[in-house]
Structure 1
Amino acid sequence: MKNILAILILLMFNINCTDKMEKNQNKSLDRKVSQVPIEKQISYGLEINAPIPVTIYFDDIKISEKNTPLNTVVELNPFILKNGKHKVKIEVNPLFRSSETFVKPDNLKNIRIQFVSYIWNKETDNVSNYITNTNLQLTTVKESLPYFAQEWEVEVKDLPYDLEGWSKGQDLSKINHKDLEINVVAYYQKLRSLMNNGDFASYRNLWAVADQELMVFDYQTKDSYTKAVEENKLDFKKCKNAMIPLEDFEMRLHADGKMVSLERKTHTREFNAESPLDIKGWSPLIRKYKVSGGASYGVKLYLPQNSNEFVIIRK
């Protein structure tokens, strides 16, 4: 489960609140954890084994685009607001690195996707009750295609929480596209400035709403929360004077228009002297490593009803 731990660490990098708010959140967190016994702290995920890159959507939210083969569990709890029916979708595009223009049947036949659930004890880092709920089988393809997509319905039954998330957000698809993009880009520019200037306190404050929900869906304990905050603080220092310009991006709507994000739009064969490295699909908030390569920091925004101020709701 090291891959799941890595996802958690990346997600926890985006825990943001003032010192006063942090103390209040810790108290709230203790109450939440005490209300949910470990045997009820269920997590859902997609176990994916794919020899080629795939793009994954959950309830019309793009949750993963890896330009390398996958052999991991993609965590779903951040994107599940409540129990019920949900949709999983994958897309497969022609292999950029091989300069292919079609998806071949052989590209698809070895992809394996399972809808799984498990209990992850944050105190011991042990995983138990690992269950395959559904095998999501791909349709057999006999001819090459410009791209491949398939969708399944899965059922979530055992979550002990019900979150609001973006469910009451405005429908951003009804806002003029150009005006919306101007405002989204301005928000990202603000984030980039805070990161490049090393202003951790201000940056964290913008993540307060997302943090409150993270503590619920990730069943955080006070110790794990505090440890992650300290690790994130150290990691954030590396962003100072290391953020590249906000460029080569496109705007993407998620969750049937309730969320919005920016992502890099052009394939690359190398980035910052690391080859091969394709950063298409990354958040444009990118930190260059000192030697080669880099890391991106995802941000998904929503617009509450009767408000003109975006709120960060997920990474």
Structure 2
Amino acid sequence: MRKLIISSLLLMFSLASCQQKQSSATTINSKEKTGQKMLDIYKQVRTYNYNPLYEVEFTSDTCGYEILINGVPLHRYLLAGSANEQRIPINDHILTSGKQEIIIRLFPPQLSDQSWSPTLVDGSKFKIKVIHHAIDRSTDNPKQVFEFTSSNKPGTEKFVGSGQKVFEFKGSFAAIVPYQIEGWKNSKDLSKENQDELLKEAVAAYNEFRNVLIRKDVNAYASLMYDKEVELAKAFYWNTSADSKERWDEMSGTIREKRDILPIKEFKMVLYAGGKVLALQPTSEMYKDYLSAIHAQTDDEDIQVSFLLHKKVGSNELTPVR
């Protein structure tokens, strides 16, 4: 077997020496095509008379929280402290017009000594609403389509979920959007697959993505994320060449940044959206509020890298969905 391997390597080196110039030219052309493909995404985007931007606007106090839109995690925060009013766009979680589901989960707060309370406490509070307005903010009069405010125990100022390990609220709101995107709408139900094999596939996909980040391979990153980027562009109406260029410059610049891509360890596999979306998530205390087990570090910050996977209908390959 060793001779076969050596012979094969010699053949490869021989071919490489003969084809080096052709290979180099092909690589350059491939890179140019990949970059241009990303720059041309705007050509697939339409705009309309009203281009709504849907957002969640929320505050929290003395609790961790997780927000899911249509079964897919939007944001999670479990560390100490309270959140003043925050806004997060959610168009990429709205695949088409109609009824949209929202789930709010509240978790016990982190204490001043960095440990976690075993349960939610009397002072835990959370408030959230869904609003929409023109994406160009041509009007400062956003319309509200949903609101949830945590309630107290009757006759008290104590949170109704005080003493519980998790408090969950499920609701819905109506959204009217002019676009339609596929997302995870028709993706395979991964809960029906062999979970041990699925875990192996997920770990392989995460490690492949991690290696792309380590190599700072901008073109491999673009190829991997192209379908996702097209859907984001449609959902947020990025319809000009300047939009695509700004997005591509931001992506490629981020990939080239000097940062350490940390090993994937201490994680669990989680399925969302009725089994259609998969994530590997950290279980360590330090990173357990991250949605993805891939994260990076610079001298100044710790960076969460989002990586949610699905299998398209007709495919058995895990690919990025958000």
The TM-score normalised by the length of structure 1 is 0.81
Identify which of 91, 96, 102 aligns with 1:82. 96
Residues 216 and 256, structure 2, Cα contact 8 Å, conserved in 1: yes
Identify which of 197, 216, 220 aligns with 1:202. 220
Q: Deviations over 1:56-98 (max 9, x none)?
A: 1112112111234333112211111101111111111111334
How much has 1:28 moved relative to structure 2? 5.3
How much has 1:209 moved relative to structure 2? 1.0
Identify which of 27, 47, 55 aligns with 2:66. 55
Are residues 1:302 and 2:275 paired? Answer: no
Query: Distance in 2 between the 1:234 and 1:198 partners?
Result: 10
Identify which of 276, 284, 288 aligns with 2:293. 284
Are residues 1:42 and 2:52 paired? Answer: yes
Query: Distance in 1 between the 2:37 and 2:215 partners?
Result: 27
Query: Distance in 1 between the 2:199 and 2:44 partners?
Result: 39
Query: Distance in 2 between the 1:88 and 1:137 partners?
Result: 13
Q: Deviations over 1:240-277 (max 9, x none)?
A: 6x111111111111111111111111222xxxxxxxxx
Label 1:56 to 1:194 Cα distance change in 2 as closer, same or farther (>3 A): same
How much has 1:195 moved relative to structure 2? 0.5
Identify which of 130, 143, 149 aligns with 1:137. 149
- Counterpart for residue 311 of structure 1: 319
Residues 252 and 260, structure 1, Cα contact 8 Å, conserved in 2: yes
Tell me the secondary structure at the aligned position of residue 260 of structure 1: strand
Label 1:28 to 1:233 Cα distance change in 2 as closer, same or farther (>3 A): closer
Query: Distance in 1 between the 2:32 and 2:227 partners?
Result: 15
Identify which of 66, 72, 88 aligns with 2:86. 72
Identify which of 111, 119, 133 aligns with 1:118. 133
- Counterpart for residue 118 of structure 2: 101
Q: Which moved more, 1:45-54 or 1:179-188?
A: 45-54
Query: Distance in 1 between the 2:138 and 2:43 partners?
Result: 20
Residues 292 and 308, structure 2, Cα contact 8 Å, conserved in 1: no
How much has 1:159 moved relative to structure 2? 0.4
Tell me the secondary structure at the aligned position of residue 321 of structure 2: strand
Tell me the secondary structure at the aligned position of residue 111 of structure 2: coil
Residues 288 and 294, structure 1, Cα contact 8 Å, conserved in 2: yes
Label 1:22 to 1:233 Cα distance change in 2 as closer, same or farther (>3 A): closer
Residues 209 and 311, structure 1, Cα contact 8 Å, conserved in 2: no
Query: Distance in 2 between the 1:50 and 1:296 partners?
Result: 21
The TM-score normalised by the length of structure 2 is 0.79
Which consecutive unaligned segments of at least 5 residues does structure 1 have? 1-16, 269-277
Query: Distance in 2 between the 1:84 and 1:312 partners?
Result: 25
The runs of at least 4 aligned residues of structure 1 exceeding 6 Å deviation read none
Q: Deviations over 1:10-33 (max 9, x none)?
A: xxxxxxx96435545655524524
Are residues 1:235 and 2:254 paired? Answer: yes
Label 1:89 to 1:186 Cα distance change in 2 as closer, same or farther (>3 A): same
Query: Distance in 1 between the 2:34 and 2:253 partners?
Result: 20
Percent identity between matched residues is 19
- Counterpart for residue 179 of structure 1: 197
Query: Distance in 2 between the 1:67 and 1:119 partners?
Result: 32
State the structure with more CA Rg.
Answer: 2
Query: Distance in 2 between the 1:42 and 1:18 partners?
Result: 35
Residues 195 and 239, structure 1, Cα contact 8 Å, conserved in 2: no
Q: Which moved more, 1:186-195 or 1:146-155?
A: 146-155
Tell me the secondary structure at the aligned position of residue 40 of structure 1: coil
Tell me the secondary structure at the aligned position of residue 206 of structure 1: helix
Letter in 2 for 1:175: E
Tell me the secondary structure at the aligned position of residue 298 of structure 1: coil
Residues 52 and 134, structure 2, Cα contact 8 Å, conserved in 1: yes
Residues 115 and 136, structure 1, Cα contact 8 Å, conserved in 2: no
Label 1:163 to 1:126 Cα distance change in 2 as closer, same or farther (>3 A): same
